[in-house]
A and B are shown apart, each in its own frame.
Chain A
Amino acid sequence: MDLNYGPEYDVFRKQVRAFIEAHSHLAPPSADRAAQPSSKAVEWQKLLIEHGYAARTIPQEYGGYGAEPDILQSRIIAEEFARARVPGGLSNQGISMFVPTLLELGTEEQKRRWIEPTLKGDVVWCQGYSEPGAGSDLANLKTSAHIENGEFVINGQKIWTSTAKQADMIFCLVRTEPDAPKHGGISYLIFSMDTPGIEVRPLKTMTGHAEFNETFFTDVRVPMHQIVGQRGQGWFVANATLGHERGMLGDPDALENRLQALIALMQEERLGQGRAIDNPVLRDRLVALQAEVAAMKYNGMRILSNSLRGEPGGMAKLIVKLQSCELAHQISALAIDAMGELGILYHNSPRERDGGAWQWNYMFQLGLIIGGGTAQIQKNIIAERGLEMPREPKTADMARQKQGAD
């Protein structure tokens, strides 16, 4: 067990700290939930890239900083920004999911065209995967693209498309080979949200905001080269992206920050004579959550060490999405309980606390338990891939069995 990053990293850490100290006044407020980044957030992002604190390992020719990958440096940056409670670089589906996918599987031209404006916040992406009939069973998607005059012509509907209303571009899964097997006939297309034939209808969610949308496609024409990977390989390309999404949803620093905010809240809120934290039941729950956050923090360090050694993340990694999203939700739940009757206030009510952030989080984090592969799907993955338990009999097998029985 050696928790020292080494002297060369101490120097690096000092640099990061000095940068944060000198520039934090330029940072946008961390509560910025807008899909289209504010000009302040865009300027901050550009400054971070320039100094290598965002897009650090992305090659310069694509608009990144171009440092050699060094997991510990990346880790130090994340730690120091979290510690200073200063927002790090932009995080959205374009940056966290699309860019890594393009780096892995895009053509040279695509990388040059899209990565830089995405990193700099000039182009916002949405993810067009889920459909009314294809959620957990994503490969069941029906939105089709046939070829006409050298173009893809897309018809169909996506749903739960986060930020579609604000997005400039979409990365979208469509069925290009209707006769191929379920997973084999899908392609990964990228196109502008201004393309004629796209209609976006905001879907108000339980939070009261419209974080996602329905997206309809009627004869949407997309040039043939706007495909990532080959025709029919979209499932493979999409799975590369989903891996990045699950990484994004399990950030130990984010949990630690939520916990610190909860501790502060419980020390400030007064319930009757005492503070919320003086109530032994609430305090017991707080300490229990603190232990769980600690466990996830050290689990994260273990994953980090595994990757430094070039070993796969294994079970430690497989469980992160499930455990972190649940834990984040529990932290918000306790915050609301600690507020007691004040916990009902929302929608900019007088006496509302923290701008309703805890209520919003409590609800939105339930969305994150569902989105990006539901908790149940995560458990299937943990059981089947992690524990190598017998797979579910496939519907096809069951149909065959049924035929045999008839």
Chain B
Amino acid sequence: MDFGLSQDQQMLRDAVSRCLADSSPLSHVRECAERDNPLSDQVLQALNDLGVAGMLVPEEHGGLGMTLLDAAVVAEQLGYAVAPVPFLASQVLAPIALRDAGNEEQKAHWLPKIASGEARIGVAISETIEVRDGAGVSSAAGKLNGTALYALDFEGADAYIVADSGSRLHLLGAKASGLEAIALTTIDRTRSVGELRFDGAEAEPLADDGGATVARLRDAGRVILAADSLGAGQAMIEKAVDYAGQREQFGRLIGSFQAVKHMCAEMAAQHEPCRSLVWYAAHAFDAVPNEASLVACHAKSHTAEVYRFVARTSTEVHGGMGFTDLLGLHYWFKRIGFDRQVLGGPEAVRAEAAALQGWTKAA
């Protein structure tokens, strides 16, 4: 019995943390965030040198064959550093989709390239959770029509994996004819999201598995977003505590004021159990299949609530300084905001958790 990270996972965490401290200081994040395409080749390269790109690619395809908990360890560090790199779609969802639902040819073509960092695949599955603005993708005779909003890890993608309205996945090159890709500007300038419009675009289907793989992608994505917020929240709490230990007002450190102390204690008290919840959810994805979807929902929705509180409270502890662009605290605030909305806000996710337990009457 050992509930926690293994030695290897702790080493991975420390290595990624050091790598990001060197390659992705706040000055670099800021530089990236001010560009049209925020994704940083420099940080991506540094992470690839550690093997991050191939974590979830099976060994027989040149990857490391690691688990979602390993990926969650990395995601937490990315959130902690607000690192402007593609990860969720290109290094987690795409390899899982290909691994679980790709045919041999697709696997052999793409997986080694993902592992080596040569190829990046964006993923668009949001319409399987919630349809807005009339979006949605239909497929017939190998052609896609319609719109997929929120393709994740959009910029620089060589291909996209897209879910149609029947929860079947399709793969198509970024330059496929009949595909128009339009960048969306998000509040979180450390991520890249885009809209995909299909007009008879040719695509290869992945396996027809009744939506099973799409459901796995939702679970994995939610855990990774929760882990990202866990890291971002950790950083915001540390920053608040540090600031409260330096800033003086009324002749005292503000951290000695109980109102400030209690804001920090409340953040810590809510934050700490999230770590165990995220770890368990990630572990369950690979090891406890019958609990995986429910606990992914719990991790996603609970962290969404906790880190919204942390994001605003840490900002408040910093006073006016917290509100400035200069301090850069807002990068974490916005990152947490992104994690909350993507792949289902907490209400939508809780509704799904209720349905999974048979608590919702069929409409």
Contact = CB atoms under 8 A, between A and B. Distances in A.
Interface in A258-314: 267, 274, 277-278, 280, 283-284, 286-288, 290-292, 294-296, 298-299, 301-302, 304-306, 308-309
Interface string B267-302: 011101111110110010001000000010111011
Interface in A155-188: none
A391 interface: yes
Given A288-B305, A322-B269, A386-B268, A295 B6 contact: no
Given A3-B1, A291-B302, A379 B6 contact: no
A383 interface: yes
Given A294-B298, A295-B302, A389 B245 contact: yes
Contacts of B361: 274, 278
A322 B271 CA distance: 13
Interface in B349-363: 350-351, 353-354, 359-361
B106 interface: no
B351 A284 contact: yes
B277 A291 contact: yes
Nearest to B269: A319
B277 A389 contact: no
Contacts of B272: 299, 315-316, 319
Interface in A314-330: 315-316, 319, 322-323
Question: Interface size for chain A: under 10, 10 to 19, 20 to 34, or 35 or more residues?
Answer: 35 or more
Contacts of A72: 1
A308 B1 contact: yes
Question: Interface size for chain B: under 10, 10 to 19, 20 to 34, or 35 or more residues?
Answer: 35 or more
A72 to B, nearest CB: 6
A382 interface: yes
In this complex, the member of A292, A308, A389 whose beta carbon has the largest number of chain B beta carbons within 10 angstroms is A389
Contact of A305 (B2, B298, B347, B354): B2
Interface stretch (B11-19, B75-83, B92-100, B256-264): B256-264
A230 interface: no
Given A380-B261, A393-B252, A283 B354 contact: yes
A403 interface: no
B273 A1 contact: no
B268 A319 contact: yes
B265 A390 contact: no
A231 to B, nearest CB: 34
A392 interface: yes
Contacts of A382: 265, 268-269
Contact of B265 (A4, A6, A316, A379): A379
B255 interface: yes
A295 B283 contact: no
A290 B353 contact: yes
B128 to A, nearest CB: 20
A291 B1 contact: no
B241 A389 contact: yes
Contact of A288 (B69, B265, B275, B302): B302
Contacts of B347: 284
A307 B149 CA distance: 47
Nearest to A327: B273
Given A6-B1, A277-B359, A291 B264 contact: no
A5 interface: yes
Contacts of A316: 272-273, 275-276
Interface string B23-48: 00000000000000000000000000
Nearest to A9: B1
B5 interface: yes
A112 to B, nearest CB: 35
B51 interface: no
B359 A295 contact: no
B266 interface: yes
Contacts of A284: 347, 350-351, 354
A298 B253 contact: no
Contacts of B270: 323
Contacts of A283: 350-351, 354, 359-360
A2 interface: yes
B7 to A, nearest CB: 12
Interface string B326-362: 0000000000000000000011001101100001110
B156 interface: no
B55 interface: no
B295 A294 contact: yes
A105 B3 CA distance: 32
In this complex, the member of B245, B252, B265 whose beta carbon has the largest number of chain A beta carbons within 10 angstroms is B265
B242 to A, nearest CB: 10
A5 B1 CA distance: 5
A4 B252 contact: no
A204 to B, nearest CB: 32
A379 B353 contact: no
A304 B351 contact: no
Given A3-B287, A305-B3, A382-B268, 16 more contacts: A1-B2, A1-B4, A1-B69, A267-B359, A278-B360, A283-B351, A283-B354, A286-B359, A288-B305, A288-B346, A292-B273, A298-B277, A302-B279, A306-B4, A389-B264, A392-B256
16 contacts: A278-B361, A283-B351, A284-B350, A286-B354, A291-B298, A292-B273, A292-B302, A299-B272, A304-B3, A306-B4, A378-B269, A379-B261, A383-B265, A383-B268, A387-B268, A389-B255
Which are the 6 A-B pairs with shortest beta-carbon distances?
Answer: A298-B276, A295-B273, A291-B298, A379-B265, A383-B261, A382-B265
